Structure 1
Amino acid sequence: MSEKQTVSVALIGYQFMGKAHSHAYRDLNFYFDNPLKAELKVIVGRNEASVKEAQEKFGFESYETDWRNVINREDIDVIDIVTPNHTHAEIAIAAAEAGKHIITEKPLALNVEEAKRMLEAVRKNGVKHMICHNYRYVPAVQFAKKLIEDGKLGRIFHYRANYLQDFIVDPNFPLVWRLKKEVSGSGALGDIGAHSLDLARYLIGEFDEIVATMETFIKERPIGEMTGGLSAKGDTSQMGEVTVDDAVTVLARFKNGALGTFEATRFATGNRNKNKFEINGEKGSIRWDMEHMNFLEVYFADDEIGEQGFRLVNCTEEEHPYVGAYWPAGHIIGYEHTFIHLIDAFFRGIASDTQPTPNFEDGVINQRILEAIEQSAEEKRWVKI
C-alpha cells in the first residue's frame, strides 16, 4: 500500500453519514498534505434510484445494490460502513477476510460478542481499522486533551457530559430503524451516548463501574422510514412497538478516581445537537459544547483573585490542532471538518503501517460500557466494567 498514491474506497450506505464521509474523502487532499488520496470507486445502497443519485452527487465512479458484490473486488482497498448497526459485523468481518482496511460508524456492533468477532477478524487479517467517533477530532477537544495531559487541570475530580437532541419528541415521528433494538442495538444510549462515553475515555481514562437508569417515553409509533438526515415519514394507520430507550442517565466511577455523570436523550426539546462536557480538576476546569465547537471554555485556579473566571478560547490559532490547514485565526470551521481529520488519521495509518485511533479496540470497550449500562438499568445496581 505504501507504493500507492491512491486508496480505492467502497462506501456501504449513502444517507446522512454517507454524505459526511464522502465529503471528507473529496476534501482531504485539498486541505492536508496526506500521503494518500481517495479514489471514490463505488457506493452501495439497496434502493437503486437513491443510490444512483448519491453516486452522481457524491462523485463515485459507480454504484451497486448489494455490498457482497464489492467486498472481494481487487480494485477496492477500503470498505467504509455507514449502514444501520445490525449490518456492521457481517460486512466488516467479510471485508477483513478479503484483506480490506475498514472504517465503520458507531456503535461498532449490536453487542459485545459481535464487536469482539469484528476485532478478532481485523487482527487476524492484519488490516487497519477505525470507528468513527469523529468528535475526538474537533480541534477544541484535542486542545482540551493537551491541557489535561500537560497537567494544566491537575488531578481530575469530575467528568460531566450531556448529549441532548429532540428530533423524536413528536409521537407521530415514525418507527424508524433507530427505534428498533434488533437493528440499532439501543436508542439514545448507542446513538449519541456512545459518543459521550468515548470522549470521556479519550480525555480522562477508563471506566471502573457504573449505575444507570433508562426510559422509553413513547412506547408505540407509526410505521415509517428515514428519508435523509434525521427526517422521516410514516403511516399513522399502522403502529409498531418502540424497543429501545429514549433517554438514559448514568453515574460512573473512573479508574483514576474521578466521578462521571452522563445524560443522553432524544427528548430534550429545544436541543438539536447539544453534545457537551465539563471537566473539573484541582487546578482548573474546561467546558466544551458541540453547537459552538470552535470554542473551549477554560478556567485556571491560579489566576489572580478578582480576575478569575472562565475564559473563552477560540481554537482557531495555528497552534491548535488541524486548523492551520484551513483559514486565518477566527475564521471558524464546522462539523464536516471533523470527518476530514479522522480520515486523515486513517489514511496516515494505512500509509505508515500503523494503527490509528479510535479503532475496533475502542469500539469493543465502548460496547462493554453500553452493555453494562443496559444491565445496570435492568437490574437496578452498580455494574463493573
Structure 2
Amino acid sequence: MTSQERHTDNSHSGTRPESKTLGVAMIGYAFMGKAHSNAWRNVASYFDVPAFERKVLVGRDAEGVAAAAATYGWAGSETDWRAVLDRDDIDIVDICAPGFMHAEIAIAALNAGKHVLVEKPLANTLGEAQAMTEAAQAARAQGVQSMIGFNYRRIPALALARELIAEGRLGNIRHVRAAYLQDWLADPEAPMTWRLRKDKAGSGALGDIASHAIDQVLFLLADQVIEVSGRTHTFTTHRPGTGLDGGLEEVTVDDAVWATLNLASGAIASVEVSRVATGQKNSLKLEIYGEKGALLFDLESLNELSFLDSTVPVREQGFRRILVNEPEHPYLGAWWPQGHVLGWEHSFTHQIRDFLLAIGSGTEPSPSFEEGLAVQRVLSAVEESSAAKSSIIQLTGPPAGSTTLEGA
C-alpha cells in the first residue's frame, strides 16, 4: 500500500482486512496514555480497521490504573506488564511508559510475538534504540509489526506538505527551519518531575520535542542527515524537589537545544527547541524553502498550510492559505464537512488507524523502528557535538529500512 493509498482510503465500505479480533494492551496511563486511549476508543467509528478489543491498561499503581481503565474504556487493568505478555488474548502492546522503560518492554513484547507501538523517542540511549531495532527486524521476519509514535506525521496539513514536496512543487529543497517552543518550565520554581531526570527521561527538550522536529525534517523531505552540529543548555540547574524536605534537586537534562543538520540532498536544516520559551505553549513551526516555492506550517493553526509558488509571475506571488479540510486531503474523508476543523488528538486516531491497517495487511508500518533509530542517531550526535563544543559530527550511512518516499 502506498503513502497516498494509506492516507485516502477512508471509506467504511468493503471487508475488514483482518478477521481475527485483536486484543490490545496499553502500558502507561498518564498524558500519552490518555491521548492513545482516546484514539483507540474512536478509530473504529471513523475508519475501516481490523476488529480489536481494548483488553487491559497497565500501570504501577493498582488503584490509579483501575480508575483510569474505567474512565478510558479498557476492559481491565494490571500492574505487571510482564504478566500481560504471557496472555494469549493480547496481540498488540501500546507502550506509553517513560523512555527508560521502552527498550525492556518493547523487546520483551516483540519476542513474545506481540505487535508493538511505542511512543517517541524510541529509547533513552542509542544503544537501547539499536537493540530495539534489531528485535523489531527479527520479529518482522515472523510477521510481527512495530511502529514508533511520531503522531505529527498524521496531521493532515503536514501529510499534504509531504505530498506537495514529493510532487516537486517546491523543486530542490534548499533549507528548512524547524522551531518547537514551549514554556512549561519557564518558571524556575516549577517543581521537579521525571522528565527532568536523565536516568528516567534520557534528555530534556532534545528527546521530548526535538525528536518531533527532526522527524518532520526527515519525513517531509524523505532525506537523510549526514552531518550534525549542536548545542544544549540548561537554564535552571536546580528545582524544588518532590521529597518531604522540600529541598532543591539537580536538573540533569537540557532546557533548550540548537542544531544544524546537513542532509544528503544538500539541504540544510536548522532546529531550535525549548521548554523555557516564555509565552509559547506548544508552538511547532516549520518553514521549507525550495527553488520553486515554499511552505509554512504552525502547529497552533494545524488545519492550515501556507504555500508560495515562485514559478508564477512576481506580480502574482505571495503565500496563500490552504485550509486542509477537504475530503481530498489526507485522512479528511472520514471526518466532518469542509471547514469543520480537526484537532491535535486526531493525529493519534490516524496513527492507530495506519498501525492497524498495516497489521491487517501484513505490511510494514511507518515510521518503523529503523526510522526511530535514524532520529535517535541525530539526537545522540547533537549531544556529542554540544559536549565537544560545536564540533561537526559525521553520520555514516542511513540505517537499514530508513525513510523512503514510497514507504512512509
* Matches of 1:189 and 1:351, distance apart in 2: 34
**Residue 406 of structure 2 aligns with which residue?**
none
Per-residue CA deviations over 1:347-382 (Å, capped at 9, x if unaligned) read: 111011100100211111111110000000000201
* Matches of 2:280 and 2:66, distance apart in 1: 34
Structure 1 residue 47, shift from structure 2 partner: 1.4
**Of residues 298, 306, 309 in structure 2, which corresponds to 1:297?**
306
* Matches of 1:175 and 1:299, distance apart in 2: 44
Asked if the contact 2:139/2:145 (under 8 Å) is kept, the reply is no
Say if 1:154 and 1:294 are closer, same or farther in 2 by CA, change over 3 A.
same
**Residue 187 of structure 2 aligns with which residue?**
170
**Of residues 150, 156, 159 in structure 2, which corresponds to 1:139?**
156
**Does 2:27 match 1:12?**
yes
**Residue 76 of structure 1 aligns with which residue?**
90
* Matches of 2:337 and 2:29, distance apart in 1: 33
Asked if the contact 2:17/2:357 (under 8 Å) is kept, the reply is no
TM-score, normalised relative to structure 2: 0.90
Q: How does 1:333-372 map to 2 (within 5 A)?
A: 333-372=342-381
* Matches of 1:340 and 1:236, distance apart in 2: 43
Per-residue CA deviations over 1:334-353 (Å, capped at 9, x if unaligned) read: 11110111111101110111
* Matches of 2:28 and 2:120, distance apart in 1: 14
**Residue 267 of structure 1 aligns with which residue?**
276
Q: How does 1:209-220 map to 2 (within 5 A)?
A: 209-220=227-238
Structure 1 residue 38, shift from structure 2 partner: 2.8
Structure 1 residue 303, shift from structure 2 partner: 2.5
Q: Which amino acid aligns with 2:43?
A: L
Say if 1:236 and 1:297 are closer, same or farther in 2 by CA, change over 3 A.
farther
SS in structure 1 of the partner of residue 235 of structure 2: coil
Q: Which amino acid aligns with 2:32?
A: M
Structure 1 residue 276, shift from structure 2 partner: 1.4
The farther-off stretch of 59-68 and 370-379 is 59-68
* Matches of 1:3 and 1:129, distance apart in 2: 17
Asked if the contact 1:188/1:246 (under 8 Å) is kept, the reply is yes
Deviation above 3 Å: which 4+ runs of structure 1? Answer: 1-5
**Residue 25 of structure 1 aligns with which residue?**
40
**Of residues 165, 169, 174 in structure 2, which corresponds to 1:157?**
174
TM-score, normalised relative to structure 1: 0.95
**Does 2:213 match 1:206?**
no
**Residue 114 of structure 2 aligns with which residue?**
100
Asked if the contact 2:205/2:254 (under 8 Å) is kept, the reply is yes
**Does 2:327 match 1:318?**
yes
SS in structure 1 of the partner of residue 294 of structure 2: strand
Q: How does 1:32-51 map to 2 (within 5 A)?
A: 32-34=47-49, 36-51=50-65
* Matches of 2:340 and 2:17, distance apart in 1: 35
Structure 1 residue 208, shift from structure 2 partner: 1.2
**Residue 398 of structure 2 aligns with which residue?**
none
**Of residues 49, 55, 63 in structure 1, which corresponds to 2:77?**
63
How many equivalent residue pairs? Answer: 375
**Does 2:99 match 1:85?**
yes
Structure 1 residue 305, shift from structure 2 partner: 2.7
* Matches of 2:157 and 2:17, distance apart in 1: 31
**Of residues 239, 261, 268 in structure 1, which corresponds to 2:248?**
239
Asked if the contact 1:174/1:235 (under 8 Å) is kept, the reply is no
* Matches of 1:266 and 1:306, distance apart in 2: 41
Say if 1:382 and 1:236 are closer, same or farther in 2 by CA, change over 3 A.
farther
* Matches of 2:298 and 2:17, distance apart in 1: 38
Gaps of 5+ in 2: 1-15, 396-408
Say if 1:217 and 1:41 are closer, same or farther in 2 by CA, change over 3 A.
same
Asked if the contact 1:106/1:132 (under 8 Å) is kept, the reply is yes
Q: Which amino acid aligns with 2:25?
A: A
Asked if the contact 1:172/1:236 (under 8 Å) is kept, the reply is no
Structure 1 residue 307, shift from structure 2 partner: 2.3
Pick the structure with more strand per residue.
1
SS in structure 1 of the partner of residue 285 of structure 2: strand
Q: Which amino acid aligns with 1:55?
A: A
Q: Which amino acid aligns with 1:97?
A: N
Q: How does 1:99-138 map to 2 (within 5 A)?
A: 99-126=113-140, 127-138=144-155
Q: Which amino acid aligns with 1:121?
A: A
**Residue 209 of structure 2 aligns with which residue?**
192
Structure 1 residue 90, shift from structure 2 partner: 0.4
Say if 1:66 and 1:255 are closer, same or farther in 2 by CA, change over 3 A.
same
* Matches of 2:217 and 2:373, distance apart in 1: 15
**Of residues 391, 394, 398 in structure 2, which corresponds to 1:384?**
394
SS in structure 2 of the partner of residue 221 of structure 1: strand
Say if 1:331 and 1:121 are closer, same or farther in 2 by CA, change over 3 A.
same
Asked if the contact 2:296/2:307 (under 8 Å) is kept, the reply is yes
Asked if the contact 1:318/1:324 (under 8 Å) is kept, the reply is yes
Identity of aligned residues (%): 46
**Residue 401 of structure 2 aligns with which residue?**
none
**Residue 332 of structure 1 aligns with which residue?**
341
Structure 1 residue 238, shift from structure 2 partner: 2.0
Per-residue CA deviations over 1:211-265 (Å, capped at 9, x if unaligned) read: 11110000111123xxxxxxxxx76722211000000001121110011110010
Q: How does 1:216-227 map to 2 (within 5 A)?
A: 216-224=234-242
Q: Which amino acid aligns with 1:295?
A: E
Gaps of 5+ in 1: 225-233
Say if 1:330 and 1:47 are closer, same or farther in 2 by CA, change over 3 A.
same
SS in structure 2 of the partner of residue 182 of structure 1: helix
